[in-house]
Amino acid sequence: MTDITPEIGCRRSQSPFGDEVAEASATLPSPAHFRAQIARLKRLPTLPRLHQRILSTLDDPGVDFNHLAALIETDQSLSSQLLRLANSAFYSASNQSIAQVSRALLKLGTIVVRSVVITSSVFDPRKLPLPGFWEHSLGCAVAAGALGKTLGLRAPEELTAAGLLHDLGKVVLFKELPEAFQACLDLSARKQILFREAERELLGTDHCEVADWLVQRWNLPAQLAEPITLHHRPTTALRRPVETAVVHVADAMVRGIGFGNGGDSKVPTIRDEAWQLLGLDLDKLDRSFLCFDRDLDRALNYAIFA
């Protein structure tokens, strides 16, 4: 595996999540206690009925965007998010305003629309009392898109959507089992290990596996499913290895510059196989960072996915 940490570090100041977490309690429940709790996560509630209908409609290869728009327009908040995103400078370089949901759907595409539906349903990290987590998710989204543009990959906006959702499992863990989530934060800070390593030690699983239970239930397409569930193990992706490798590298990029926090202060190693699959070199990585800096400002200014 290739460790590029020295190359990407120090571009922004580090802000370790461990500074915000409390010291682990001496009366912390045992791993067996947490693992018993984890078992019930497999029975997680489904998405709201309207959002289920929208995702089911998106599954249709011959989807009628006018019918889909009529369905979405019954949810004022979701409609507003889609229109705001379609009109943002992050996705549009023109000055022509989009005022119809049907036109927004055509512009954004089904993969991006799915990501907006999910964020509006369960994935709103800005509402989580976890300093830096929203920034990490947004940063990974922008970095994934920047890599896609630099490497000339198809549909970089889909990579952005996958990057935004890559830590979906952490959000679920926090919302459903906050005590277990906090215990993982504490263990990670105390031992100076990756959050995922703390999850494995305490819970016998990790946020990627938790997310996998959801993406199977929601029948998410491979463009989203594999980057979400396999971004720490990109070489195991069978259907979308390139997209998964991009999110894997994007996660390390954002951690390396210290933008936001994913739950620990460590920078994960980029796997050599992912590096080679993408045909990366230090020049392309540097150009990706330049694109990232430009697009991040645009994303923040226009409150992408807000």
Q: What is the pLDDT of residues 174-217, one digit of tens each?
A: 888 888 899 999 999 999 999 999 999 988 899 999 999 888 88
pLDDT of res. 18: 40
pLDDT of res. 92: 58
pLDDT of res. 61: 83
pLDDT of res. 1: 44
> 273: which 2 tokens?
């196989």
pLDDT of res. 302: 55
| Residue 19 scores a pLDDT above 70 | no
d(CA 46, CA 42): 11
pLDDT mean over 21-41: 63
Q: Compare 238 and 306 and report the one with higher pLDDT.
A: 238
| Residue 6 scores a pLDDT above 70 | no
Query: Which residue is listed with tokens 């994960």?
Result: 268
The sign one gets for the Cα dihedral 200, 203, 204, 207 is: negative
Cross-strand bridge partners of residue 85: none
Angle at the Cα of 121 (from 116 to 122), degrees rounded to 5? 110
pLDDT of res. 9: 40
Which ranges constitute the DSSP H helices of 122-194?
133-150, 156-164, 168-176, 178-191
Per the CB < 8 A criterion, the answer to whether 163 and 20 are in contact is: no
> 187: which 2 tokens?
């263990």
Q: What is the pTM of this model?
A: 0.81
Assign residue 187 a region: left if phi > 0, alpha if psi is -120 to 50, beta otherwise?
alpha
One-letter amino acid identity for 186? D
Q: Compare 241 and 30 and report the one with higher pLDDT.
A: 241
Q: What is the pLDDT of residues 78-108, one digit of tens each?
A: 888 888 888 876 665 556 678 889 888 988 8
pLDDT of res. 154: 87
pLDDT-derived band at 59 (thresholds 50, 70, 90) equals confident
| Residue 2 scores a pLDDT above 50 | no
pLDDT of res. 254: 96
Q: Which long-range contacts (CB under 8 A, 24 or more apart) does 26-29 make?
A: 28/183, 28/186, 29/179, 29/183
In the chain, what percentage of residues exceed pLDDT 70?
82
pLDDT mean over 220-230: 92
Instruction: Report the largest interatomic distance among the alpha carbons of the chain, rounded to a whole angstrom.
Output: 59
Query: Which domains are assigned to the chain?
Result: 5-44+130-301 (1.10.3210.10), 48-121 (no CATH)
pLDDT of res. 159: 92
pLDDT mean over 224-248: 96
What angle separates helix 65-72 from helix 76-87, to the nearest 10 degrees?
120
Contacts for 24 with CB less than 8 Å, ≥ 6 apart: 183, 186, 187, 190
pLDDT-derived band at 13 (thresholds 50, 70, 90) equals very low
Of 59-73, 110-124, 192-206, 251-265, the range with the lowest mean pLDDT is 110-124
pLDDT mean over 256-281: 93
Angle at the Cα of 176 (from 133 to 144), degrees rounded to 5? 35
